[in-house]
Amino acid sequence: MLTIYGIKNCDTMKKAFVWLSEHGLEYEFVDYKKTGVVEAHLPDWIARSDYKTLLNTRGLMWKKLSDAERAEVDVDKAQALMRQYPALIKRPVLDSGKTLLVGFDEQKYARELL
């Protein structure tokens, strides 16, 4: 079973939900903002992906950070920021058990999941 992590009201999440449903793929959705699973999963996600891929530097939450918070981000600082502000995690994070997909890309989803 696929597990898809994100925030329910995110437009990108909605696109991923539609794509998965259209392709008959069952999934479990985990709202990481509400369930607090970030602390437990973040080290694994960073190990299986690049922290630069996982850290959403294009969203509103990133823009709300202070200049000091946005400066000199390395893996440790990125992890601390994503723990503190889960909205900084690029959505969705889809875990198939063997593959971790970050962000929604129809071609990548098709290649990895179908």
Query: Which residues are marked as active site?
Result: 10
Cα distances from 4 to residues 20, 29, 64, 66, 67, in angstroms, run 10, 5, 26, 30, 31
Number of H helices, E strands in the chain: 8, 4
- Smallest Cα–Cα separation from 48: which of 101, 114, 5? 101
